Amino acid sequence: MPFFVSFIHQPLHQPLHQPLHQPLHQPFISATFDVTHGDPTALVEITPAGNAWAGGTPFAQQPVIAVVDGGGNIMTPDSVSTITATLTINPSGFPLLGGLTQIVALGVAPFQDLRIDKDAKGYQIQYTTTAGGFHLNTSLDVIPSTEFMLTSSLDRQIGDRMGSSCAADDVSGLVAIGTS
């Protein structure tokens, strides 16, 4: 039983059928060409900042941010731009610390020691780049530390994850340590 193939360029109501054992066309070899990236258009988060504990410890999961073109391709030729992290929403008033600016390597900037020393929900980190006039906003919650954390007595947490807390009296400077 012979097999038949319908050519796509023929109208559907009059398909041209040809047995498979006959050649459909001659091989075509094109000239060589280069595939290049487009211009950088955005930042994307490859790895989000996460496992953020208060008390001076860098985030356990550091962010990795990439510069991409309009097709979402990582700009691997880019090893000269920088990406800077800043807090745009800061519920505690404590700063974002660590290496805030990273040099892009092959289109990617891995941060290594970002941290926020005060726990709070709803921080927003904004990443900007010298590769273009675009940015990326991400949210982050910082949770109480597993270690002792010095806090104001007015803002004292009733126990951290390990059931202990430490507070300083704003007036006298006395330190109280308690366990729950």
pLDDT tens readout for residues 132-163: 999 999 999 999 876 555 555 555 444 444 44
Spatial separation of the C-alpha atoms in residues 104 and 68, rounded to whole Å = 12
pLDDT in tens, 115-135: 999 999 999 999 999 999 999
Mean pLDDT over 40-64 rounds to: 94
Residue type, 176: A
Spatial separation of the C-alpha atoms in residues 9 and 118, rounded to whole Å = 66
CB 116 within 8 A of CB 54: yes
The per-residue pLDDT for 119 is: 94
**Tokens for 75?**
């700009």
What domains can be seen in the chain, in order of their start residue?
Answer: 40-143 (2.60.40.3960), 145-180 (no CATH)
User: How many residues belong to the chain?
Assistant: 180
C-alpha distances in angstroms, 45 versus 2, 62, 66, 131? 54, 11, 6, 16
Task: Give the confidence band of 89 by pLDDT, cuts at 50, 70, 90.
Answer: very high
pTM surpassing 0.85? no
